Structure 1
Amino acid sequence: MEFTFRTDVGKIRAHNEDSGGVFKNDIGVLAVVADGMGGHRAGDVASAMTTTYLQDVWGEVEEMATVVDAEKWLIEQFEQINEHLYAHAEKHSECRGMGTTLVVALCTEEFISIAHIGDSRAYIYNEFGFQLKTSDHSLVQELVRNGQISEEEAEHHPRRNVLLQALGTEREIKIDVTTLQVEEEQHVLLCSDGLTNKVNHDELKAHLEGAGELSIKAEKLVHLANERGGEDNITVALVHYKEESNERSNAQ
């Protein structure tokens, strides 16, 4: 596996409320993208607390033998983070109302378990095509599911950024988890909506299937979102299962 991570403040906002990273241990890598929201700088706090927590607990994991273990671990971590964020906001008035989206890919040599809440997304690209593996927890996506609007209408809907779920905003949360088997030459793309609001499905695919280093692919995606306005923070995490699976991974 090789991996890379990029986050950018964009062209309009004064500070970056996105956070994340790709963290390696003996089991594999944990890719994380969190998009914070709410209050003066509280979005920064929520996403940074989330990333730090996941980096720390992943560093302590010594065994992850089965898919059941991986999915259970992810759900437990999401619930723990939610409790931490909710309690922090209650104790610190400047953080009231803070929250964060979160998408995580737990990548081993055998399987990839993906968990998410909010509208940060996970995509998979392999020989079977390019597929979105998460469903936004948003008002607009709910309208699509109910048949009230089309996918095309959702892309430009004025309320497309209204979330129905996030970490830290409510005591009870519902986490979506899915697991996929590993394929050769497979890419895992995690990103915040600062990317997907500016770069469409086909363009994301085109950037992944092209030649070039993984870090350059991530940089080009961020650059394209900025080129088209960059009104939001932009974050990209990429994991690539190379054919030489035993080749040493490296963070870019």
Structure 2
Amino acid sequence: MFGMITDLGMVRNLNEDCVGYLINNNIKLFIVADGMGGHNAGEIASKIAVDTVKDYFEEKPNISKENLSSHFKEAIICANEKIFNISKQKKECRGMGTTITACIMYEDKTLIANVGDSSCFVIKKDNIIKVTKDHSLVQQLVDKGSITEEEAVNHPNKNVITRAVGTYEHLEIDIFDISYINVDMILLCTDGLTNDISKDELYNIINKDSCVRYDELCKKIIEEAKKRGGRDNISLILVKGEQDYDDRNNIR
């Protein structure tokens, strides 16, 4: 069970976010991407990223659980190469790139991949945990102790990311191996959501309406973000977890 939505927001004229999923044999794959670049190049970059990662796993039906992480990285590296090469070949696409945050599930293994400042959260019975760490200038300042988490929220350079798919020939990708037990939901989202709604506020909204259909819950979250300004494109995917509270495994 899952819900998925992408929205223009209240300010932008173009939606440069892209979302996608693949359910193929034993693999479940969910992806959000937030494009950047001049003209409509950001829209192109995010779509290439989502389509390339999906196509990679569609064409490799016999992946084993043991090599899932290496294939996950390879799929995103393929997307990086495609976007980087197109940006060099086409003047109107020069400098384009995209964030990517993706979740892949295979048997009892769940991996999260991240490049940029889109996010993954694990929502449990009584808390919410951010799995990913932003690749951004503001996050670097927080890590160095130059600014506080509170100051980061409205920092003027909040939109400056330090890592993106397609902007350089070589790419570093974060992979997180998480426990699926005791999880109500996994949330993937672009920063258009987290810029307007805090982590704790997300937990309260989801916890309050957790009994509604996942697609309806996604719409409620989007509506709340737009009420608060909707300054950017807003995208999210909610994926059902495995709710077994007798086993107290945590994120690994």
TM over 0.5: yes
User: Separation in 1 of the partners of 2:55 and 2:27?
Assistant: 15
User: Separation in 2 of the partners of 1:137 and 1:242?
Assistant: 29
Which amino acid in 2 is paired with 1:230? G
Matched, 1:101 2:99: yes
Query: Post-superposition shift, 1:44?
Result: 0.6
The correspondence of residues 39-50 of structure 1 with structure 2, limited to 5 A, is 39-50=38-49
Q: For 2:206, which of 200, 205, 208 is the aligned residue?
A: 208
The correspondence of residues 81-100 of structure 1 with structure 2, limited to 5 A, is 81-100=79-98
SS of 2:117's equivalent in the other structure is coil
Matched, 1:146 2:173: no
Deviations 1:102-121, CA, capped at 9 Å, x for gaps: 00100234121001100000
User: Separation in 2 of the partners of 1:65 and 1:186?
Assistant: 26
Unaligned runs of 5+ in 2: 245-252
Partner of 1:72: 70
User: Separation in 1 of the partners of 2:220 and 2:142?
Assistant: 30
Q: Which moved more, 1:85-94 or 1:74-83?
A: 74-83
- In the alignment of these two chains, the number of paired residues is 242
SS of 2:171's equivalent in the other structure is coil
Partner of 1:228: 228
Q: Which moved more, 1:215-224 or 1:131-140?
A: 215-224
Query: Post-superposition shift, 1:54?
Result: 1.8
User: Separation in 2 of the partners of 1:139 and 1:50?
Assistant: 23
Which amino acid in 2 is paired with 1:38? G
Partner of 1:248: none
Instruction: Indicate conservation of the 8 Å contact 2:188/2:238, yes or no.
Output: yes
TM-score by length of 1: 0.91
Query: Post-superposition shift, 1:208?
Result: 2.3
Partner of 2:54: 55
SS of 1:143's equivalent in the other structure is helix
Matched, 1:237 2:237: yes
Instruction: Indicate conservation of the 8 Å contact 1:118/1:166, yes or no.
Output: yes
Query: Post-superposition shift, 1:204?
Result: 0.9
Query: Post-superposition shift, 1:69?
Result: 1.4
Which amino acid in 2 is paired with 1:103? T
Q: For 1:181, which of 179, 182, 200 is the aligned residue?
A: 179
TM-score by length of 2: 0.91
Instruction: Indicate conservation of the 8 Å contact 1:33/1:190, yes or no.
Output: yes
Deviations 1:64-123, CA, capped at 9 Å, x for gaps: 432x41211111111111111000011110000100000010023412100110000000
User: Separation in 2 of the partners of 1:172 and 1:85?
Assistant: 12
Which amino acid in 1 is paired with 2:54? Q
Identity %: 36
User: Separation in 1 of the partners of 2:8 and 2:23?
Assistant: 25
Partner of 1:29: 28
User: Separation in 1 of the partners of 2:109 and 2:205?
Assistant: 24
Query: Post-superposition shift, 1:28?
Result: 2.9
Unaligned runs of 5+ in 1: 245-252
Query: Post-superposition shift, 1:58?
Result: 2.2
User: Separation in 1 of the partners of 2:26 and 2:163?
Assistant: 30
Which amino acid in 2 is paired with 1:93? K
Instruction: Indicate conservation of the 8 Å contact 1:3/1:22, yes or no.
Output: no
Deviations 1:138-163, CA, capped at 9 Å, x for gaps: 00000111111111111111111101
Partner of 1:16: 15
User: Separation in 2 of the partners of 1:103 and 1:185?
Assistant: 18
Instruction: Indicate conservation of the 8 Å contact 1:27/1:63, yes or no.
Output: no
Q: Which moved more, 1:180-189 or 1:74-83?
A: 180-189
Which amino acid in 2 is paired with 1:179? D
Instruction: Indicate conservation of the 8 Å contact 2:8/2:15, yes or no.
Output: yes
User: Separation in 1 of the partners of 2:243 and 2:117?
Assistant: 31
User: Separation in 2 of the partners of 1:31 and 1:237?
Assistant: 7
